[in-house]
């Protein structure tokens, strides 16, 4: 268990950072190909993230700039991924009646089904990976990851606020 020291040893921080980076790479290089293979849905990880967002909260982030903001990436990147998803028949764009310059993006029926298969497959794989873990270890991992996400998001907000203040 990680301690709540006020000053963290640099070696400990380096080790943790290395583990997080290694885990991220493992997801991309091993877990994601397994998800694609088992689910039968052949899209890349960023496209799956976009599809997931569109199926989970379609009304609140159905515009390109809102999707990009939610994902923390630039709009041209999301635009390219949406074109790929559209060509695959997983999303559709409709002109916004209120603003003809804007498009509303929604998952198609095929897109919703693909997102559901991806989610179910990811859950199955995680169950396999954590199958030998004690319930208390899984709960501790969940608690620690939630804390890491919360602290990372707080850092992001502080950083954005500092950038805004420097521009003023």
3-state secondary structure of 92: strand
Whether residue 113 is found in the same domain as residue 35: yes
Task: Give domain status of residue 8, yes or no.
Answer: no
Mean of the pLDDT values across residues 74-81?
Answer: 92
Strand blocks (E) in the chain? 91-95, 103-107
Task: Give domain status of residue 164, yes or no.
Answer: yes
Task: Give domain status of residue 3, yes or no.
Answer: no
Q: What angle do CA 6, 11, 17 make, to 5 degrees?
A: 90
Does pLDDT of 4 surpass 80? no
Mean of the pLDDT values across residues 50-63?
Answer: 78
Whether residue 113 is found in the same domain as residue 145: no
122/165: higher pLDDT: 122
Task: Give domain status of residue 123, yes or no.
Answer: yes
CATH code of the domain covering residue 55: 1.10.10.10
Alpha-carbon distances of 61 from 55, 84, 97, 147, rounded to whole Å: 10, 18, 16, 25
Whether residue 22 is found in the same domain as residue 42: yes
**pLDDT score of 11:** 60
**pLDDT score of 10:** 55
Whether residue 33 is found in the same domain as residue 104: yes
Q: What angle do CA 143, 54, 72 make, to 5 degrees?
A: 60
3-state secondary structure of 95: strand
Q: What pTM, to 2 d.p., does this model score?
A: 0.76
Confidence band of 6 (pLDDT split at 50, 70, 90): very low
**Domain extent for 28:** 13-129
Tally of residues, the chain: 168
Whether residue 32 is found in the same domain as residue 91: yes
Cα dihedral sign for 116, 118, 121, 123? negative
pLDDT digits (tens, 9 = 90+) for 24-53: 898 888 999 999 999 999 999 999 999 999
pLDDT digits (tens, 9 = 90+) for 135-164: 999 999 999 999 999 999 899 889 888 777
Whether residue 75 is found in the same domain as residue 155: no
**pLDDT score of 3:** 46
Q: Rounded to whole angstroms, how far apart are CA atoms 73 and 99? A: 23
In DSSP terms, which residues pair with 136 in a beta bridge?
none
- How many domains are there within the chain? 2
The percentage of the chain sitting over the pLDDT mark of 70, rounded to a whole number, equals: 89
Does pLDDT of 165 surpass 90? no
**pLDDT score of 69:** 84
Task: Give domain status of residue 98, yes or no.
Answer: yes
């Amino acid at each position: 268990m990680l301690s709540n020291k006020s000053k963290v040893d640099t070696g400990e921080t380096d080790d943790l950072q290395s583990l997080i980076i290694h885990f991220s790479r493992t997801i991309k290089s091993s877990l994601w190909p397994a998800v694609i293979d088992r689910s039968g849905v052949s899209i890349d990880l960023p496209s799956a993230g976009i599809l997931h967002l569109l199926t989970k909260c379609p009304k609140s982030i159905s515009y390109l700039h809102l999707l990009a903001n939610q994902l923390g990436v630039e709009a041209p990147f999301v635009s390219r991924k949406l074109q790929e998803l559209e060509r695959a028949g997983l999303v559709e764009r409709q002109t916004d009646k209120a603003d003809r310059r804007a498009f509303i993006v929604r998952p198609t029926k095929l897109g919703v089904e693909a997102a559901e298969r991806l989610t179910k497959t990811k859950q199955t794989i995680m169950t396999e990976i954590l199958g030998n873990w004690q319930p208390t270890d899984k709960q501790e991992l969940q608690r620690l990851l939630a804390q890491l996400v919360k602290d990372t998001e707080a850092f992001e907000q502080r950083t954005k606020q500092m950038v805004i203040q420097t521009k003023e």
